[in-house]
A = this chain, B = another copy of it.
């Protein structure tokens, strides 16, 4: 589709623009040395590239900037493989040498490291409990009408919520049920808990307890928490303010606002990481107008072969794709290895 020379010039323009955030002119490309043509020739090619939709011109007498399509082509075909700098490698080594236990904590910390390494904003979708299985269930009365329900998963994550308990249900009754549940439900995947409760345990439970109906309601409430137990962590949100394209408060406002809308972000992250490997969403591909000038690069991480979370980097469309992709690739792989290691 594009000639070799056009590819060279497009690469040069994108690279330059990523570095400078200023429209790139034919002269500066020519002077770089790696494209051995005069400004005039480059101008001709640039006009062609613009016609093809890879470049845009802010106004007549300015240089060119990559269009959405230009970035997409760059990411898909032109971006160089990026090896990590020794400094970056060192940061990553230091991180994985740390002694951190809980999976969620590890992942969260990885997000922080990532935002520091890249100077962009990292978005981390914590390990979901959906596919892990039940390790332990507990129901602790706090006072006459409330109890704390605790679910511990096989990966060591703890979810808790407060539930209200009808006065008729006695403590000993509750204990009996909890014991029964632990015997029957240990090892069952979290997402199957409710159906297991209804189908298998229900009948047996009726024999043990008096207030079956009330208890089922309590358990229902208690297990509710298990299904959406995924948390979102942001790090380096203010890095956005360093980008020259967001020097204007009005332009960042909508982005920062979105950062406070956890559910929306979660949905976006989940959508973005649908495929395997590294995913790049450029500008309007993000399905939210606040991110129209941003790119989101995501990767998933897994525990024991099961993808459990997503880690992403958000920056301006003019972001250092090659470097970020390189870092994210290594980091997500290491994270997976680290989380799946025998503790």
Contacts and interface: CB of A to CB of B under 8 A. Distances in A.
Interface of A: 101-102, 105, 135-136, 138, 140, 142-146, 148, 150, 152, 154-156, 158, 160-164, 235-238, 241, 246-249, 252-253, 256-257, 259-260, 342-343
A142 B156 contact: yes
Copy total for this chain:
2
A152 to B, nearest CB: 6
Counting from the closest, the 7 A-B pairs by CB-CB distance are A101-B162, A158-B160, A142-B156, A102-B162, A146-B343, A238-B256, A148-B156
17 contacts: A135-B140, A138-B138, A143-B342, A143-B343, A145-B343, A146-B156, A146-B343, A148-B152, A148-B156, A150-B152, A152-B160, A160-B160, A238-B256, A238-B260, A241-B249, A248-B249, A256-B256
- Name, among A101, A136, A155, the residue most crowded by chain B CB atoms within 10 Å (CB to CB): A101
A260 B343 CA distance: 31
Contacts of A237: 256, 260
A145 B343 CA distance: 6
Contacts of A342: 143-145
Interface of A is mostly: mixed
A297 B120 CA distance: 32
Contacts of A160: 102, 152, 158, 160
Contacts of A105: 162
Between A148, A152, A237, the greatest number of chain B beta carbons within 10 A of the residue's beta carbon is seen for A148
A150 B158 contact: yes
Contacts of A252: 241, 249
A158 B146 CA distance: 14
Contacts of A241: 249, 252-253, 256
Contacts of A150: 150, 152, 158
B158 A158 contact: yes
Nearest to A148: B156
Contacts of A148: 135, 152, 156, 158
Nearest to A248: B249
A50 B156 CA distance: 63
